[in-house]
Amino acid sequence: MKIRLALPLLWTSLALGLGGCGQPQRASEAGAHRHQARPPHGGTAVALGDDAFHVEFVRDEENGKLSAYVLDDEMEEFVRGGSPGFTVMVKVGVDRRALEFRPVADIATGETLANTSLYEASAPWIKTAAEFDAVIKSISVYGQVFAGVIFHFPADNRTN
C-alpha cells in the first residue's frame, strides 16, 4: 500500500526535477499558465523559468535605450537579484547584435549597482528598431541561472 502512494510522489518529483532541462524555450511557452498582471511599465514581459521571475523590457526610442526590470512571478514587486549584468543577443532584420545590460543604481529606491532590479543597454539602432527577435544568453536572479530564453520584442510574449 505504501508503495502505491510513493510511486506517484516519486514520478512527480522526477518530473519537477527534470522539467528545467536547460534547453532554450520561447518566453511565451515558459509558463504553463498566464497571469492577469500587466507589466508595470507597459513593456514586454519575458518569463524566466516556469514564471519564477519576469524581465520587463521597455524601449526608449528617443534615447536609444532599452531598460530591463527584474520582477517577481506576478510582476508586482521588483526583484533585486544582484546580477552584475547580462547579455541579450538580438536579431534585427538580418543583422545580429549583442546588447550588454548593466546595473543601474537609484538613490530614491536605495538600489545600488550590486543590489538593483533595473538594468539598461544603449545602442543607436534601438532608436529605429521597434521590433526584433532576441535571446537572453544568461541571467542570474537570487542565484538561479536562466539561459537561452527566446523572445520577440514587443508583442508575442506579453502575459494576458
What dihedral do alpha carbons 47, 91, 132, 159 form, nearest 10°? Answer: -10
Query: Which pLDDT tens digit goes with each residue over 117-160?
Result: 999 999 999 999 999 999 999 999 988 999 999 999 995 544 43
User: pLDDT at residue 67 above 70?
Assistant: yes
pLDDT digits (tens, 9 = 90+) for 7-57: 333 333 323 333 333 444 444 444 333 445 788 898 999 999 888 899 999
Q: What SS3 class is residue 10?
A: helix
Q: Cell triple for residue 128?
A: 529605429
Mean per-residue pLDDT, 76-87? 89
| Model-wide pTM > 0.85 | no
Give the residue numbers spanning the domain of 102: 22-153
Q: Is residue 139 part of a domain?
A: yes
Our count of domains for the chain comes to 1
The domain that holds 135 is classified in CATH as 2.60.40
- Average pLDDT for 76-97: 91
Structural domain contains residue 10: no
Whether omega before 154 lies within 30 degrees of 0, making that bond cis, reads yes
Assess if residue 34 is contained within a domain.
yes
